[in-house]
Structure formats: structure tokens, C-alpha cells
């Protein structure tokens, strides 16, 4: 732990940093998955999906920054490297052979849903640890991820 005058007890900060670090790894993975989809999507809805996936990436990049900065504010060290994310991420590996829009929509919506579930658990965990500020950050991220899940899943719902 790095020295800080943050008044939260060290025990709280250590516990919350662990939760933040786990979600940071997931967020870095989600960001790269949204770019994978953005770069490789093909098909009749190409431009709509290409632009959608890029917008998802932009917001997830903001979530990565929020998580990493909160870790440092609490006295931790943010490790958002790809090797760490690859080891720690709880998201499924992105399907490397996905090309058509539907495949990317399925894969990215699954990643978004799993990330949303982890973030909701992190809200409860950080709140019960006594860090309402971090719980608020997770709540902000949760609302955003739910919005993107809705936008991405909408491309599947008309086909069912």
C-alpha cells in the first residue's frame, strides 16, 4: 500500500482495492473485446455495428480509467496491463473467428452481461466494506454497461 491521508481504514482500502483490481482486469478485457468486434465485424449491418462497438469501447475506456484511478486514490497500484488482464479476467475469451455481425453481437453482449454482473456484486461488496464512494463509481459503471448491453442486444431481439 502506498501512503495516503485517505481516512478510510486500511483494512477497508485493501479489501476494496482487490474488488477494484478484479473489475479493472475485466474492464480491460471488455475494452479489447469491443475493439476486436469493431475491427472485424462484417455483414449487412456493418456500419451500424462498427460504430456501436466503437462507442462501447469509448465508454469502457472511461470505466477502466475510473477503476484504475480509484485504486490509486485508495493507496493501491493500478495494474491494467494486458498480461494482468489476461490472467485475471473473468470474461470468456472472445471468439477469434467471429466475422458476421450476429456472432459479434452474441459475443459482446455476453461479455457485457458478465461484466455487469461482476460490477453489481462490486457495488454490494464495496458498500458493505464501508466505501460508499467506490460503490457509487460501480453504480455509475453499472448504469452505463446496462445501457450498452441494451443497445447491443437490440440487434438480436428483432430476429427471435
Confidence of residue 153 (pLDDT cuts 50, 70, 90): very high
The pLDDT value given to residue 99: 85
Q: Is 137 exposed, middle or buried (0-12, 13-18, 19+ CB in 10 A)?
A: buried
Give pLDDT tens digits for 54-113. 999 999 999 999 999 999 999 999 999 999 999 999 999 999 888 899 999 999 999 999
Q: Which residue has the cell 454497461?
A: 145
Residue whose C-alpha cell reads 483494512 in the numeric block: 11
pLDDT at 96: 84
Q: Where are the domains of the chain?
A: 10-157
- Please tell me the distance from the alpha carbon of residue 140 to that of residue 109, in angstroms, as a whole number: 19
- Are the CB atoms for 59 and 148 separated by under 8 Å? yes
Domain 10-157 has CATH 1.20.1260.10: yes
Phi, psi of 42 (to 5 degrees): -135, 165
For the chain, the average pLDDT equals 95
Mean pLDDT for 25-29 is: 98
Asked whether residue 23 carries a pLDDT value surpassing 80, the answer given is yes
DSSP code of residue 69? H
Query: pTM here?
Result: 0.95
Q: How confident is the model at residue 158 (pLDDT cuts 50, 70, 90)?
A: low
User: Tell me, what's the pLDDT at 30?
Assistant: 98
Amino acid at each position: 500500500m502506498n501512503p495516503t491521508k485517505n481516512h478510510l481504514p486500511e483494512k477497508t482500502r485493501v479489501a476494496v482495492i482487490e474488488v477494484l483490481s478484479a473489475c479493472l482486469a475485466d474492464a480491460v478485457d471488455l475494452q479489447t473485446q469491443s475493439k476486436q468486434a469493431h475491427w472485424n465485424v462484417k455483414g449487412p449491418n456493418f456500419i451500424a455495428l462498427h460504430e456501436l462497438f466503437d462507442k462501447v469501447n469509448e465508454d469502457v475506456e472511461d470505466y477502466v480509467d475510473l477503476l484504475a484511478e480509484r485504486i490509486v486514490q485508495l493507496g493501491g497500484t493500478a495494474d491494467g496491463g494486458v498480461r494482468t488482464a489476461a490472467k485475471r479476467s473473468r470474461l470468456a475469451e472472445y471468439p477469434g473467428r467471429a466475422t458476421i455481425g450476429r456472432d459479434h453481437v452474441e459475443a459482446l453482449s455476453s461479455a457485457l452481461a458478465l461484466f455487469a454482473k461482476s460490477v453489481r456484486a462490486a457495488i454490494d461488496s464495496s458498500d458493505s466494506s464501508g466505501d460508499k464512494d467506490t460503490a457509487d463509481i460501480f453504480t455509475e459503471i453499472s448504469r452505463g454497461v446496462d445501457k450498452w448491453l441494451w443497445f447491443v442486444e437490440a440487434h438480436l431481439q428483432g430476429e427471435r
